[in-house]
Amino acid sequence: MTRTFLRIAAWLAAILAIFAALAWGRYLSYDLDSIPKANPHAAPADLAYLKQAVSEQRGRILAVVSSAERGGPLNKKAGYELTELSRAYYAFKVNGYQVDVASPQGGKPPARIDTEDMQDIDYAFLNDAEAQAKVNQSIPLGRVDAARYDAVYFVGGKGAMFDLPGNADVARIVLAVAQRGVVGAVCHGPAALLGVTTADGKPFVAGKRMTGFTNDEELFLDANARARFPFLLQDRALDRGAQFVSAPNYLDHTIVDGRLVTGQNPWSTWSTVEAMIKALGHAPVAREPGLDENSVRMLAAYQRGGLAAARAEQERVARFDKMLVLMHALVAAMEWRLADAFQLQRLVNR
């Protein structure tokens, strides 16, 4: 019996070793080391995009971030998403707008920084003395003169779920800007709009088409999200009478309803801010898409037409973020969409 057990154990060990070797070989075939790394020392002067800034001064935009470092019954970390501020900040500036940063409490708000998501433009923002001064000395919302701004943009991050909804100054600013300008928000940022009520007593979002971080996206990342947050953004938007429009998880998706512009998740940041610029009456300055954007476009093509459509989109780009595609393959596997998981990992190899 002992010899039989040892023989079976040896065979199992050999099989596992073979599978491990195959998996390692597959991993090496992805050539992930070829993915360009972001430069932590990047400066605004290094970015070709910023050199294309229009000379015309077109107005001023207010970017609003959360002051909530933690929140909810579980007291989990919150804050705002750095990339949703940094990319918007430079997009607005390149297109001729001065940008001010405000938060409920003023001063230095808590940022969530994920180095895996960072690009040169995000590091340049951290290394930009003028930009950091605006962030570190953010204007308290109570001192914001809404009449100065052509648009207001609510940055996402989990903190936006705690201290922006129901904030009287948020409501004051949104209603004032909406009369003549553009209101925008991305990811969890649209939560700020859900506590705003118009003069006739109706929710600001009632009857409007909008989007934001969806229930599926939230609950996939955190099964305890309903306990963590005071509400789920999609649920509350529907309760307030909004026409909530969602797209596949973690892909670029922006909804424009007149002069209200909302984006579904962090990968919608660029499309949200550029849609805001269009709503303000200007064609956004052309720029080279980031590697993550190229990957998201490939993934969106896969959703529409399978591997062939994704391959066709892949042929249009020189490079893309392989790790992001593999993460979507992992998500598919975790959701037991095994065929999608297999096809998506194939997409990583040209």
Out of 261, 279, 297, pick the residue that ends a domain: 279
Residues 294 and 241 in one domain: no
Query: Is 236 in the same domain as 311?
Result: no
Q: Which two tokens stand for residue 151?
A: 């648009």
Higher-pLDDT residue of 22, 175: 175
Q: Do 308 and 272 belong to one domain?
A: no
- Which of 279, 311, 332 is the endpoint of a domain? 279
* pTM flag (> 0.75): yes
Would residue 284 count as lying in a domain?
Answer: no
Q: Within this chain, do residues 306 and 257 fall inside the same structural domain, yes or no?
A: no
Q: 348 with 272, same domain?
A: no
Please report whether residue 195 resides in a domain. yes
Which of 180, 300, 173, 185 has the alpha carbon at shortest distance from 242?
185
Instruction: Tell me what pLDDT residue 4 has.
Output: 46
- Same domain flag for 173 and 311: no
Whether 126 maps to a domain, the answer reads: yes
| Number of domains forming the structure of the chain | 2
CB 337 within 8 A of CB 19: no
Last residue of a domain, one of 230, 249, 279: 279
Query: pLDDT tens digits, residue range 303-334?
Result: 999 999 999 999 998 889 998 999 999 889 88
Range of the domain at 97: 44-279
- Domain co-membership, 251 together with 297: no
Is residue 180 predicted with pLDDT exceeding 50? Answer: yes
Decide if 24 is inside a domain.
no
Q: Domain for residue 324, yes or no?
A: yes
- Beta strand extents in the chain (DSSP E only): 59-64, 70-71, 76-77, 80-81, 97-103, 111-112, 139-140, 151-154, 182-186, 209-210, 243-244, 254-257, 260-263
Give tens-digit pLDDT for 265-303: 999 999 999 999 999 999 999 999 999 999 999 999 999
For residue 27, the model assigns a pLDDT of 46
Cβ–Cβ under 8 Å, residues 202 and 137? no
pLDDT single digits (tens) 34-83: 667 889 999 999 999 999 999 999 999 999 999 999 988 778 889 999 99
204 and 136 assigned to the same domain:
yes
The tokens of 47 are what? Answer: 């970015």
- Give the total residue count for the chain: 350
Alpha helices in 46-164 (DSSP H): 82-94, 120-126, 129-136, 160-163
Residues 342 and 209 in one domain: no
Q: Is residue 294 part of a domain?
A: yes
261 and 309 together in one domain: no
4 within domain boundaries:
no
Asked if 61 and 124 sit in the same domain, the reply is yes
Question: Which whole number is the average pLDDT over 123-138?
Answer: 98
pLDDT of residue 76: 84
Residue 264 CA to residue 187 CA, distance in Å, equals 5
Domain membership of residue 38 (yes or no) is: no
To the nearest whole number, what is the mean pLDDT of the chain? 90
Q: What is the mean pLDDT of residues 99-126?
A: 95
* Per-residue pLDDT tens over the stretch 223-252: 999 999 999 999 999 999 999 999 999 999
Q: Is 306 found in the same domain as 158?
A: no
Q: Please report, for the domain that includes residue 123, its CATH number.
A: 3.40.50.880
